[in-house]
Amino acid sequence: MAADKICSSCGKRLIGHGNTFFKCPKCGDYEIGRCDQCRDQSVPYECKKCGFIGP
């Protein structure tokens, strides 16, 4: 069974519409997940691999 994807900002499970996933802009290794609310409000996220913080 695959692990649930979660928002890198708020920790909410990412299911449904409006979510996005992308590789960390700094290291390019870690996948960042963002829920629609955190994206809309520009809540910061942190890469768990390299520590990069971005909105």
> Cα(54)–Cα(51) distance, rounded to whole angstroms?
10
Structure tokens at 30: 């870690």
pLDDT at 18: 87
- What is the secondary structure of 1-55 as a DSSP string? -PPPPB-TTT--B--SSS-EEEE-TTTS-SEEEE-HHHHHHT--EE-TTT--EE-
pLDDT at 42: 94
pLDDT at 7: 94
Per-residue pLDDT in tens (0 to 9) along the chain, 55 residues: 456 899 999 999 998 888 999 999 999 999 999 999 999 999 999 999 999 999 8
> Cα(54)–Cα(3) distance, rounded to whole angstroms?
24
